[in-house]
Structure 1
Amino acid sequence: MSQPHLDISENPQLEKRTAGFVAFIIFTALLFDGYDLVIYGVALPTLLQDPTQIGPLDPAMAGLVGSYALIGVLLGSLLCGAIGDFFGRRRLLIAGVAWFSIGMFITALTQTVFAFGAMRFVTGVGLGIVIATAGATMAEFAPGGRRQFYNGIVYSGVPAGGVFAALMGIAFLTDISWRGLFMIGALPLVLLVPLMLWKLPESPRWLLARGRREQAEAVSRRTGIPLLEEQVIQKVGAAPRRTGYAAVFSKQFALASLLLGTLSFCGLLLTYGLNTWLAVIMNGYGHDISPLYFVVVLNASALVGGLLASRLADRTGPQRMIATTFALAALALILMTFSFPLPLLFTFIGVAGVGTIGTQVLVYGFQSNYYTTNARAAGVAFCASMGRFGGIFGPIIGGWLAAAGFGGPQAFYVFAGVALVGAVVTLLVPHQRKLDEAEHEVEEMALHHRPDEHPTPSPQG
């Protein structure tokens, strides 16, 4: 049986515009994910000090409540992994954004610790759907050779949201209270969802992987997203025959999935642990500034550093860069336990932000591009789900240490140990030789392609 014709026609400018629009949509969605992550830490001092808000709340219970959203994210990610490679990227992304927006609005209206925690869980389900779908979507729209950078752009929305939340807390917490800050998190329902319904395309690579060739080619012509790589992957047999979780746990991906999931566990334990407890820990150090400024530095450094590291990862490979940033985080966290002058302390917090939250940006990109299209949503969802276990433990560990009377140094030592584990595990992830061969063949075909050999098809087909 002859192989189907490989369409290697390209429209780089249209592809770039489409990728930029998709990146903007996903970045904005993940910005509000980061906002949700940090806004609980912003509200936490008020909730701990004032029992009239949602009732009495001690540090141990605060750690548990902080983890409820992450349990919801875990469930949402698992759900997305089960259906994402069957139902497509677009529908799940829109549903997830609408879900968490409504959840944050209702959370702002709660009056008890139980109701607050329950709505944090419900909101987390929508956030999990978005997180698990975002990487898979961007990986299928990003131009070849710049995929780590594009994933860095969209996932930098998480620390950008953290900066946004901290700044909103500094500027408006006393004026609109924590309830008003949570209502800001509902804005995507009225600002982003209508735009997604109107303009966000389905992934043509996903359509082709599902056997919907005519639709895939139509979307490819409309968006400029080439199908060559997906066709070559199918041609050379670089993808497992199964789809979804069955592909993720196939011989080709099983070991790598466990290791990649461990990376997310380490990265999100550090991300959620530091964002939940950094303001509280630094408040105990007695510095004469708002502890929220430390949260701003942590996330702003992650935003800038994560983008720079993502650009370098496209050149050097993501594994080397991730191992390096994890190691830098461990060193910075240990140095944060000493009594350095404030400017030097801000520097170490900035490095820690790059090595924790910024590293998780790299990890998301690594995972999203590691899997083939028929396993991508499930693979990213599985890794995100394992990561959420780390995210759940992060706030809890901080709460346990605080309840036991330990201070910031002990928490920073624990977090530094987690970062070192992440650095070691990164280097153990095996290379995907079949995918490397497919990418090399695509590069060779593009290099030797003559426009007159395979003319660009007209929009009429």
Structure 2
Amino acid sequence: MFRSATFFIASFILVQNIAVPLFSYVMLSILDMNASEVTLIIMLQNIVMMISYYYWGVLNGRYESQTLLLWTFPLIAASCFAWVGMAALPALAVLIVVHILLGFGQAGYNLLVFNFLIGDSPKSERPMYVAVFSALTGLAGFFGPVIGGWLYGQAEGGPEWVQRYGLTALTGLAMLVLALGAAPIVFRKRSGCQSTHGA
């Protein structure tokens, strides 16, 4: 069950990294925002992330880690899908919402994925489990931005909205499908087959 969850998380990271690492590129090069605005938005995300660690910790005292981990995926996905709001709302307002969602979701993911690794891997073989998890998610994290950069290159010369918010919103939609469709199935199997190995 650890394997299926790891493959899911790696797949989610692959899709996520098609868009999220390119947020700054889109803001600077396509939306023509100035560096100060982009810096303030990224600072906002980091502040939200730092504050959110406390609240995720409190929630983790009340709910199981894998339940909370399931909550983080839709939040991160929503941070990408929310870019579609630029079709009707000012870009700056949308980006503030986007980075608040991303900061809150990433804080939960960073905290809870550690609990996932510790709680769902046998103590005697944990280094191997962590190594496999890190290798798969690392590869996904590498190839995601490469694919994203290629997609933005292909979109040059196309409709402006595709580069402004279309690619990111479509990526968010794909992530929502994974988060709401596949994740509950993968993690339900894990919850029904709890490991008997000690943490």
TM-score computed with the length of structure 1 as normaliser: 0.35
Deviation, 1:363, is 1.8
Relative distance call for 1:264 and 1:297 in structure 2 (3 A) is: farther
Partner AA of 1:263 in structure 2? I
Alignment-derived partner of residue 334 in structure 1: 81
Deviation, 1:316, is 0.6
Residue of 325, 328, 331 corresponding to 2:72: 325
CA distance in 2, matches of 1:389, 1:305: 27
Alignment-derived partner of residue 26 in structure 2: 281
> Is the Cα–Cα contact under 8 Å of residues 318 and 362 in structure 1 kept in the other structure?
yes
Relative distance call for 1:350 and 1:268 in structure 2 (3 A) is: farther
Alignment-derived partner of residue 2 in structure 2: 256
Residue of 62, 87, 91 corresponding to 1:315: 62
Higher helix proportion (structure 1 or 2): 2
Alignment-derived partner of residue 270 in structure 1: 16
Residues 42-81 of structure 1: matches in 2 within 5 Å?
none
CA distance in 2, matches of 1:422, 1:403: 27
Secondary structure of the equivalent of 1:403? helix
CA distance in 1, matches of 2:173, 2:47: 20
CA distance in 2, matches of 1:286, 1:433: 51
Deviation, 1:279, is 1.0
Alignment-derived partner of residue 377 in structure 1: 127
Secondary structure of the equivalent of 1:321? helix
Cα deviations by residue, 1:109-151 (Å, 9 ceiling, x for unpaired): xxxxxxxxxxxxxxxxxxxxxxxxxxxxxxxxxxxxxxxxxxx
Cα deviations by residue, 1:307-356 (Å, 9 ceiling, x for unpaired): 42243123211222122221122233222232334345312321023224
Deviation, 1:299, is 3.4
Alignment-derived partner of residue 434 in structure 1: 196
Partner AA of 1:320 in structure 2? T
Relative distance call for 1:401 and 1:411 in structure 2 (3 A) is: farther
> Is the Cα–Cα contact under 8 Å of residues 333 and 348 in structure 1 kept in the other structure?
yes
Residue of 40, 47, 59 corresponding to 1:293: 40
Unaligned runs of 5+ in 2: 157-161
Relative distance call for 1:345 and 1:408 in structure 2 (3 A) is: same
Q: Which has the higher contact order (CA 8 A, sep 6+)?
A: 2
Relative distance call for 1:354 and 1:383 in structure 2 (3 A) is: same
Q: How many equivalent pairs are there? A: 182
Deviation, 1:366, is 1.3
Identity of aligned residues (%): 18
Q: Which has the larger radius of gyration?
A: 1
Partner AA of 2:25 in structure 1? V
CA distance in 2, matches of 1:367, 1:423: 22
CA distance in 2, matches of 1:403, 1:365: 38
**Root mean square deviation of aligned Cα:** 2.8
> Is the Cα–Cα contact under 8 Å of residues 279 and 292 in structure 1 kept in the other structure?
no
Alignment-derived partner of residue 159 in structure 2: none
Unaligned runs of 5+ in 1: 1-254, 440-461
CA distance in 2, matches of 1:368, 1:385: 17
CA distance in 2, matches of 1:330, 1:266: 9
> Is the Cα–Cα contact under 8 Å of residues 323 and 426 in structure 1 kept in the other structure?
yes
Deviation, 1:365, is 2.4
